[in-house]
Amino acid sequence: MRRNSAYCAGVLIEHGVEAAYSQYENTCKALAPYFDVKPSDQKKVAAAGGEDTEYFAALAARDNAASAFAKMITLQPKNLPLDKLLPLLWKACPLDVDFNECKAVYGCILKLFQVNAAAVSPHIPTVVNIFSQVLGKAQVAMEVRQHILVFCKQIMQQLGDKLQPSINSWPADRKAAFFDFVKGTTPLPAEINDSAEPTHHKTASDAAGVHKPSGIAASLSMSSLSNSKQPQSPQQQQNNSAAGGGGGGGGGGANNNSPFK
């Protein structure tokens, strides 16, 4: 139900355009709790034969909520409280379940670097960290990953030395794969379709394609690199929760995480 409501909110935002603007605040309030996903209960998983359907559903709802937020930001990139919306978007990335929403979410991020670089440039290490986890994910459309790769090449060419401390904190295998992709020594994995995931109807953003990241890196500011936090994977979130940590995505759905107060 939560997943369907988030998906429908995204459709209404995309197709309602100006008519939906007045509902952005209410939409943000309604969807913000979807970004707080409780860690998977391993005992419940074992009892259910290896699958935690509640956790899967919560991740799917978060992916669709992220897509709805991305569509709002894409339509109104300069008239939304990005300082409050972007941290929620990072919490949901990289998308875990509904890869059909990758075009909207990652396309939104790429567009932001073109139309509102000042708002997103302090988060460059977070964005590159997210994209490093997307490049090798064959479930994500090749077109999306190709545009992400262009962006990563530009960023590394312009800002690689400043990003290196952040990149050094990644797992060694992901770091090596990222540099292989960026240098062109390893091609992106061929796209695969996950038959377990339903295919949504094509939307206006599908027809328009992903926003191309041409000329992005030249206009970026790196003044806030040291303050940027790295997003955590669901597994890292689970480990932090078990250890008493406060990683992203560890709260309960009842938390009031709304970007509008």
Q: What is the DSSP letter of 140?
A: S
What distance in Å separates the CA atoms of residue 82 and residue 259, rounded to the nearest whole number? 9
| Residue 113 burial by Cβ neighbours in a 10 Å radius (0-12, 13-18, 19+) | buried
- Please name which of 91, 75, 78 lies closest in space to residue 10, comparing C-alpha atoms: 75
pLDDT tens figures, 72-105: 899 887 778 899 999 999 999 999 999 999 999 9
| Predicted pLDDT at 49 | 66
| Predicted pLDDT at 223 | 45
> Considering the chain, what percentage of its residues have pLDDT values greater than 70?
69
Q: Are 212 and 110 in contact (CB under 8 A)?
A: yes
Residue, of 98 and 194, whose pLDDT is higher: 98
Mean pLDDT rounded to a whole number for the chain: 78
Q: What angle do CA 74, 86, 154 make, to 5 degrees?
A: 75
Q: What pTM was computed for the model?
A: 0.76
The end-to-end CA distance of the chain, in Å, is: 25
| Predicted pLDDT at 210 | 58
Band of residue 215 on the pLDDT scale cut at 50, 70, 90? low
Q: Where are the domains of the chain?
A: 1-93+231-261, 99-230
* pLDDT of 243 over the 80 cut: no
pLDDT tens figures, 26-67: 888 888 999 998 887 667 666 666 667 888 889 999 999 999
The number of residues making up the chain comes to 261
Residue, of 107 and 76, whose pLDDT is higher: 107
CA torsion 194-199-205-206 (nearest 10°) is 70
